[in-house]
Amino acid sequence: MKKLMNRAEDFIPEMLEGLYAAHGDQITYADDKPTCLVSCHKKENKVAIVTGGGSGHLPLFLGYVGDGMLDGCAIGGIFQSPSADDMLTVTKAVEAGKGVLYILGNYNGDKYNFKMAGEMADMEYDIETASVIAGDDVASGPVPEPGEVGIRRGVAGIFFVYKCAGAAADEGMSLEEVKAIAERASHNVRTMGVALSPCTVPRVGKPSFTIAEDEMELGMGIHGEPGIKRCKLMSANEVVDEMLGKILPDLPFAAGDEVAVLVNGLGATPLEEQYLVYGCVSKRLKEKQLNVHRTYVGEFATSLEMAGLSISIFKLDDELKRLLDKPANTPFFKQF
């Protein structure tokens, strides 16, 4: 295992030390618990937005806490849910008079713990909470039945949910309204990933899966969950065709739609390849008469040093577009 680290058991505490040292002007933590990250710039009389999830996905989850996006984040071990207690601690710290919205990925541990935290917040502290569970990975299950969460995993597309909900909360919308925005954003985003190499969790010490030197896996999850097709290396054009071939019919996206696009590096894939892939995506979307309003390329939701990337397409309407366009200033995401 080749990593710049000290003892494996100190990996997360030491990463957090560096994080707070680097961004002490923007983020701090509640109740002396570094795993309970909150924004330094608390605003009153707004819906507070909280997320949480396992470590190993930077800038997801904690990196989006800041002006115009999220208010707090409970931080778990690598690929492990944070505790319900930490979620409650964050909830109490960020609550600002209009209730708290939880936005989380569709993973059992996170769902279970956020449900507990919400119940404790309500019963013990009279804080109203609501939850939106994002599941944008088209490779991980069928479209959920109306009103159901289903089994689709949440991956990089949650960035769009954070961005729009954060801007909505900043505009003073009510908990019900911010929740509706987050649900619509979540409904409108579709993602698929491709992995070229695995990652190694420090405390495990060996790669999360094996894959031959001439193979890739389409649809793999950000914790190494099996994808839908393992195959010989394909060209970038072929990969993009396969991925958009799953993503576009899924919503479905239709000619004339306005969209935002995220090409997200999973960790080890250079920006050069991410841009090359975005070039292919851009051409295909033009052929399909989808209009790209905004493009994001870079690492937004990683899996440690996994090589590969994901493509997310987010369908906009006038309101989501307005919210997406608002400025934001977090340690990891800045938009003027």
Q: What does the binding site for a second copy look like in residue numbers (CB under 8 A)?
A: 2-6, 11, 14-19, 21-23, 55-56, 58-59, 194, 196-197, 199, 213, 216, 233, 235-237, 239, 267-282, 292, 295, 297, 299, 302, 304-305, 307-309, 329, 334-336
CB of 249 to a second copy, least distance (A): 23
Amino acid identity at 174 = S
41 belongs to the catalytic site: no
Catalytic residue among 23, 41, 187, 223: 223
Minimum CB separation of residue 275 from a second copy in Å reads 4
The contacts of residue 246 (CB under 8 Å, 6+ apart) are 138, 139, 192, 219
Residue whose CB is less far from a second copy, 16 or 231: 16
47 or 201: CB nearest a second copy: 201
Quick one: which of 178, 190, 218, 157 has its CA closest to 319? 178
Q: How far is the CB of 126 from a second copy (least distance, A)?
A: 36
Closer to a second copy by Cβ: residue 123 or 212: 212
Please say which residue, 221 or 308, places its beta carbon nearer to a second copy. Answer: 308
Q: Which two tokens stand for residue 269?
A: 């894939």
Q: How distant, in Å, are the alpha carbons of 14, 48, 171, 300 from that of 35? A: 11, 18, 28, 20
Nearest approach in angstroms of CB 10 to a second copy is 9
Q: Shortest Cβ distance from residue 64 to a second copy (Å)?
A: 13
Tokens of residue 43, six digits: 């605003």
Of 56 and 105, nearer to a second copy (C-beta) is 56
Annotated catalytic sites, by residue?
57, 223
